[in-house]
Amino acid sequence: MTDPIADYLTRLRNAIKANHKVLEIPASNLKKEITKVLFDKGYILNYKFEDGKNVQGIIKIALKYNPETKESAISHLERVSTPGLRQYADVASMPRVLNGLGVAIVSTSRGVMTDKEARKQKVGGEVLCYVY
């Protein structure tokens, strides 16, 4: 697999379109950090890291839906930086998603964080994806 982050986002997108409650994804440290950011920002209901039969383990994600409209908390997932074309941003050019309503997940030297946290800590990095 050449792009595990794109695979992660596609599995998440497909589970949302199929209205699944729980999603299982093969784990990696970067995927775990992205999952933590999604949970902290309220895009997913809960998550659990399991060391299963696989050497790498599994991430179980409970997806979040509006109880009345059955609409997902995540309406759009977009991969920005790809293995073929990396997208980096410094503090001055850090992207704002939907004028601040969405989040850009950024991999920095201080860990994986949102664009707002990166601006606050005055650090740039690789823009992984947009979520809103």
pLDDT value, residue 120 = 97
Q: What is the CA radius of gyration of the chain?
A: 15
pLDDT score of 56: 85
Whether the model clears a pTM of 0.85, i.e. scores above it, the answer is yes
| Cα–Cα distance measured from residue 97 to residue 130, given in angstroms and rounded to the nearest whole number | 7
Which tens digit of pLDDT belongs to each residue from 86-109? 999 999 999 999 999 999 999 999
Tokens matching residue 109 = 């030297």
Q: Sorting pLDDT into bands at 50, 70 and 90, what band is 54?
A: low
β-bridge mates for residue 9, sequence order: none
Q: What secondary structure does DSSP assign to 37-89, as a single string?
A: HHHHTTSEEEEEEE--SSSS-EEEEEE-B-TTT--BS---EEE---SSS--EE
Which regions of the chain carry the CATH code 3.30.1370.30? 4-63
Q: Does domain 4-63 have CATH number 3.30.1370.30?
A: yes
Indicate where the chain has its CATH 3.30.1490.10 domain(s): 77-131
CATH number of 77-131: 3.30.1490.10
